[in-house]
Amino acid sequence: MFDVIVCGAGPAGTVAATVLARGGARVLVLDRARFPRDKLCGDTINPGTVALLRRLQLLEAIASLAAPVGGMIVTGEHGVTVECTYEAGAGGLALLRRDLDGALLQGALAAGARVEEGIVVRGPLVDSDRDGPRVRGVVLSGRDGRDLRVPAPMVIGADGRRSRLALPLGLARHPRRPRRWAVGAYFADVSGLSAFGEMHVRRDRYVGVARVPSGLANVCVVVPRRIGLDDPASLLRRQIDRDPRLRERFRSARMVAPPAVLGPLAVDGSAAGLPGLLLAGDAAGFIDPMTGDGLRFAVRGGELAAEVALAAFAGRLRLPHAQLTRLRRREFRGKWRFNRSLRRVVDRGVTVEIAGLAALAAPWLLRRAIAFAGDLRPGSSA
């Protein structure tokens, strides 16, 4: 019998499993994928997340696979270009998502968690009493086609935007607006790459560019409509070619593998769980990949879920799901507000124009926003 079943072996799930196992809990981690596996991601970790991983003693294995990120370059309408250099001693990292996930998974195994790959979680094992529903474990898809019920005192749902736990229980939903889709691929021979991440914000899209350790460029375009997603390679090329800031830099570039598509992106979370269930990562809500906060929410959210579960096992919490909801609100409220504000800016083309003019007049405002997105004070800038 396991004390906790963690559904999802991404960053939120593996960090939660690591903290739980270090705290003495018997932990089972389940994921439908087999690792290593690729996943669409910006492939960068901001300085705040780097600091979290260092505190959790998980950074060393990750840093050996990564390249440093010294800051961010943001461009907008009207020729706006603002560069923000991260302050000394507090940089970000760039690495392939498959390498990040693999390193964190090894950390969970080293802490004592058991990991089972290629397992499909069909949904929560739920019963109800006068106090309402309670999760008692998970229902798995058995190899013989029959459902397999696995009980556990606590379940942590870290199974992503299409969570088989959060969505059926009404704890998360995909909002009608905004509905954005991301298309990403790796390119070789992109000119002008540096140790800085890039975000190019336009009226109807934004484009992220990051150099990964192999020298390739991770390129991700986020668009508000599904038009063209049936041919994502052409859509990605078209969005690059129409941008005067990027067109020449990609003139000789070639896509080294088929692109990936992800969407709709946004997930609205109403609560961080219910009795017997705690949520972490995208299963608990996801706003937008624009600021690079997704991994910070995943790492810190996984840690918070684990800490709440351990406190409940020790008898210090009667309603762990309610406490987790409060802690997440306190921890992430500022970033949620910031990300929603940026999302509204990008949703409105006129607002993007106004923001571009404001950045021309007062670029320090945009530098402050970049530093806040990276969980830092503004550093030196060029």
Domain ranges of the chain: 4-43+96-176+267-341, 181-263
**CB neighbours (10 Å) of residue 175?**
10
Q: What values do phi and psi take at 339, rounded to 5?
A: -65, -40
pLDDT of residue 9: 98
Region 80-106: what's the mean pLDDT? 90
Rounded CA Rg of the chain: 21
Confidence of residue 176 (pLDDT cuts 50, 70, 90): confident
What are the tens digits of pLDDT across the range 148-167? 999 999 999 999 999 999 99
Q: In angstroms, rounded to a whole number, what is the distance separating the alpha carbons of residues 142 and 149?
A: 9
Q: Is 71 helix (H, G, I), strand (E, B) or coil?
A: strand
pLDDT of residue 107: 97
Q: Is 77 or 158 the better-scoring residue by pLDDT? A: 158
Q: What values do phi and psi take at 61, rounded to 5?
A: -70, -30
Prior bond of 289 cis (ω within 30°)? no
Please, what's the largest Cα pairwise distance for the chain?
A: 66
Residue-wise burial string across 132-167, b where 16 or more C-beta atoms lie within 10 A, e elsewhere: ebebbbbbbeeeeeeeeebebbbbbbbbbbebbbbb
Q: Is 185 or 342 the better-scoring residue by pLDDT? A: 185
Q: In angstroms, rounded to a whole number, what is the distance separating the alpha carbons of residues 179 and 157?
A: 23
Question: Under CATH, to which class is 4-43+96-176+267-341 assigned?
Answer: alpha beta
4-43+96-176+267-341 and 181-263 in the same fold: no
pLDDT of residue 88: 76
Q: Is 2 or 356 the better-scoring residue by pLDDT? A: 2
Taken in order 190, 193, 197, 203, is the CA torsion positive or negative? negative
* Residue 191 in this model has a pLDDT that exceeds 80: yes
Q: In angstroms, rounded to a whole number, what is the distance separating the alpha carbons of residues 110 and 102?
A: 12
pLDDT of residue 352: 45
Q: In angstroms, rounded to a whole number, what is the distance separating the alpha carbons of residues 227 and 208?
A: 20
Confidence of residue 353 (pLDDT cuts 50, 70, 90): very low
Q: With pLDDT > 70 as the criterion, what percentage of the chain qualifies?
A: 87
CATH numeric code, 181-263: 3.30.9.100
What are the tens digits of pLDDT across the range 5-52? 999 999 999 999 999 999 999 999 999 999 999 999 999 999 999 999
* Residue 372 in this model has a pLDDT that exceeds 70: no
